[in-house]
């Protein structure tokens, strides 16, 4: 895909360790490495209370939020926690696909003055499903420059959904896979109502080849501690 570049300035003018900290029963924040934090919330899914992961990054231009809490009661507490911990406001939010556990907070974030982003494909699906939509879209694989942070949005192909993207942080070698990637804890593929199970293996293989030096792979749900989410996703797909 053609690579785009977007610069996000301090003025919000847009131009083209696992140290656990608990925020209460419904929000958990864990430090991944310097300035990178994984947050987890829970929802009842299929009769089981199930975890959902997102990530935020602290930059010198403000905090960047990837996806959103699955538990909507934690949308504001997460923003408050980032402000209290880091003395930073969230300035940009990006969702990795159109489902509620990724993009559901967009209207709330927009009203909070946060710049909201998705791929054009995700916005189309949000419109079709009458779901909250981002204010800004990118058409192709895109690099975001936010303060001192470089974040690359990449579409590897169909999998969990037709629009799922990943985010790559080259300096830190962190691959945020979202729900395209299954945790090594997962026993199955989870929600496949919008999945393309036949295309999914090739999509994962593409990620394995593209990011051979990855140190962290963050799935949309459950643990990321062993970094083997891509390989485990292929194993689950081979059983389909």
CATH number of the CATH domain containing 38: 3.60.15.10
pLDDT in tens, 95-153: 999 999 999 999 999 999 999 999 999 999 999 999 999 999 999 999 999 999 999 99
Domain that holds residue 138: 4-238
Domains held by the chain: number: 1
Quote the crossing angle between the two packed helices 229-238 and 200-210, to the nearest 10°: 160
| 114, 93 contact by CB (below 8 A) | yes
Query: What SS3 state is found at 14?
Result: strand
- Spot the catalytic one: 67, 71, 97, 121: 97
- How far apart CA 9 and CA 219 sit, in angstroms, is 29
97 is catalytic: yes
Closest CA to 67 of 34, 124, 105, 31: 105
This prediction has a pTM of 0.91
Question: Is 101 an active-site residue?
Answer: yes
Contacts of 160 (CB under 8 A, 6+ apart): 97, 178, 179, 180, 189, 191, 192, 194, 195, 200, 220
Residue 160 annotated as catalytic:
yes
Q: Which of 67, 101, 121, 163 is catalytic?
A: 101
Specify the pLDDT at position 6: 61
Tell me which DSSP letter residue 34 carries.
T
Active site residue 99: yes
Q: How far apart are the first and last CA of the chain?
A: 29
């Amino acid at each position: 895909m053609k690579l785009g570049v977007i610069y996000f300035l301090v003025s919000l003018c847009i131009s083209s360790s696992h140290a656990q900290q608990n925020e209460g029963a419904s929000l958990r924040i864990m430090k991944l490495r310097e300035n990178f934090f994984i947050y987890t919330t829970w929802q009842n899914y299929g009769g089981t209370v199930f975890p959902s992961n997102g990530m935020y990054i602290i930059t010198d231009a403000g905090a960047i939020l990837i996806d959103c809490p699955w538990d909507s009661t934690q949308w504001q507490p997460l923003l408050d926690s980032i402000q209290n911990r880091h003395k930073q406001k969230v300035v940009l939010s990006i969702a990795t696909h159109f489902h509620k556990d990724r993009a559901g907070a967009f209207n709330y974030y927009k009203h909070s003055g946060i710049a909201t982003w998705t791929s054009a494909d995700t916005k189309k699906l949000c419109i079709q499903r009458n779901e909250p939509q981002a204010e800004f879209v990118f058409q192709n694989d895109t690099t975001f420059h936010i303060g001192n942070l470089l974040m690359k949005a990449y579409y590897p192909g169909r999998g969990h959904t037709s629009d799922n993207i990943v985010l790559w942080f080259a300096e830190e070698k962190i691959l945020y896979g979202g729900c395209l990637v299954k945790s090594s804890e997962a026993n199955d593929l989870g929600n496949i109502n919008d999945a393309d199970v036949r295309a999914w293996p090739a999509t994962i293989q593409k990620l394995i080849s593209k990011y051979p030096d990855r140190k962290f792979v963050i799935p949309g749900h459950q643990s990321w501690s062993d970094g083997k989410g891509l390989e485990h996703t292929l194993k689950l797909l081979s059983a389909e």
